[in-house]
């Protein structure tokens, strides 16, 4: 075993984004062990079922309860639900997973080790500026129905940045904008996967409100390209926060209509708007482009949605789909 071999912990590694990150970690030759801690609240074991790598060890536990006899060189904290119906359903646990999760995971960090955290564009709330640069302080209602997620993420950022300032903790913090693609739960509840599962079931596509609210849809492969470049490939010495996402702004309605056409459903139905649904969301990528030259979200949404749809279709055919 090389002296430089790294021990890596991915909390939330059975999740949608977490499992893709694990795939990338396992491509590294300098990684000796990759431990995944996941309580399967929103993660799924099947997301890592394809892995045959003996370096991977999956532990089913809350991030807040994780303990280990070995220390880790790198910890990736992705343990959090990310979809409104999930986090709104258990706000206490959402805050706990993020904040107490971070505190607990830090106990397993080797001295001098690094902790990376996937924060969110939701720290900007319903933004009053567009696009949103990292310096934008956000417009979050800390008493509102999305606050367990938004404030849990903000508070965890605060914890990490303050532990960096006060104690020299080595941190990397990204703010992810909307991400979609294979391994999203069919019952995730967010727009793209909702539209696709509805379309594949031959049901009308439902959107909340007029659908004119915009999102920046980042295809998972592009997003994880950014994560691995920022987290280890490019050896970037910058603590964050760093926006990672697609800066092509698309309305929810446009995606819904596209999925309706693709699946032949043809019909889009409007539902009452969701409380405090952000009206717009678009990353300012100046910093990402400067730190990671050439990195972009290259997959156009039409192509990404089609690939995601094909993945869902194959999954349905294989009979492993979770009923929505």
Binding to a second copy, residues 213-252 (CB under 8 A): 240-241
Cis bond before residue 114 (omega within 30° of 0): no
- 173 vs 207, beta carbon nearer a second copy: 173
Of 130, 61, 79, give the one whose Cα is nearest residue 285: 130
Say which of 76, 117, 124, 149 is annotated catalytic.
149
- Closest separation between CB of residue 63 and a second copy, Å? 14
**CA–CA separation, 132 vs 12, rounded Å?**
27
- 199 vs 278, beta carbon nearer a second copy: 278
Binding to a second copy, residues 143-172 (CB under 8 A): 143-145, 147-148, 150-152, 154-155, 157-159, 161-163, 165-166
Binding to a second copy, residues 83-122 (CB under 8 A): 88-92, 95-96, 99-100, 103
Q: Is 209 in the site for a second copy (CB under 8 A)?
A: no
State the DSSP code for 139: B
Burial call 148-186: b when 16+ CB within 10 Å, e when fewer: bbbbbbbebbebbbebbeeeebbbbbbbbbbbbbbbbbb
Q: Strands (DSSP E) along 177-317, which ranges?
A: 179-180, 205-208, 214-216, 218-219, 242-244, 249-251, 268-271
- Closest separation between CB of residue 178 and a second copy, Å? 20
Cis bond before residue 241 (omega within 30° of 0): yes
Total residues at interface with a second copy (CB under 8 A):
39
- Closest separation between CB of residue 158 and a second copy, Å? 4
149 is catalytic: yes
Query: For binding to a second copy (CB under 8 A), which residues are involved?
Result: 88-92, 95-96, 99-100, 103, 123, 125, 137-145, 147-148, 150-152, 154-155, 157-159, 161-163, 165-166, 173, 240-241
């Amino acid at each position: 075993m090389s002296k430089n071999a790294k021990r890596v912990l991915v909390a939330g590694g059975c999740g949608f984004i977490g499992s893709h990150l694990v795939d990338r970690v396992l491509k590294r030759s300098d990684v000796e062990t990759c431990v995944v801690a996941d309580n399967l609240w929103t993660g799924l074991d099947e997301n890592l079922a394809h892995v045959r790598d003996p370096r991977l060890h999956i532990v089913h536990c809350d991030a807040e309860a994780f303990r280990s006899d070995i220390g880790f060189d790198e910890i990736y904290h992705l343990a959090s639900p990310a979809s409104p119906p999930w986090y709104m359903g258990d706000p206490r646990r959402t805050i706990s997973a993020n904040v107490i999760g971070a505190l607990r995971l830090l106990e397993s960090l080797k001295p001098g080790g690094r902790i990376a955290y996937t924060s969110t564009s939701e720290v900007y709330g319903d933004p009053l500026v567009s696009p949103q640069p990292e310096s934008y302080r956000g417009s979050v209602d800390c008493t509102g129905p999305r606050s367990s997620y938004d404030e849990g993420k903000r508070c965890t950022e605060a914890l990490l940045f303050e532990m960096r300032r006060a104690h020299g903790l080595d941190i990397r913090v990204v703010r992810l904008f909307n991400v979609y693609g294979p391994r999203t739960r069919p019952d995730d509840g967010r727009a793209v996967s909702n539209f696709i599962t509805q379309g594949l079931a031959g049901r009308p596509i439902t959107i909340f409100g007029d659908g004119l609210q915009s999102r920046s849809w980042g295809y998972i492969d592009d997003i994880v390209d950014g994560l691995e470049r920022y987290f280890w490939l490019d050896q970037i010495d910058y603590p964050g926060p760093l926006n990672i996402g697609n800066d092509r702004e698309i309305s929810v309605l446009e995606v819904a209509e596209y999925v309706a056409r693709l699946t032949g459903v043809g019909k889009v139905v409007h539902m009452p708007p969701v409380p405090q649904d952000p009206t717009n969301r678009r990353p300012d990528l100046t910093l990402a482009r400067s730190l990671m030259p050439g990195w972009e979200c290259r997959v156009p949404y039409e192509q990404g949605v089609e690939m995601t749809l094909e993945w869902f279709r194959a999954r349905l055919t294989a009979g492993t789909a979770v009923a929505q």
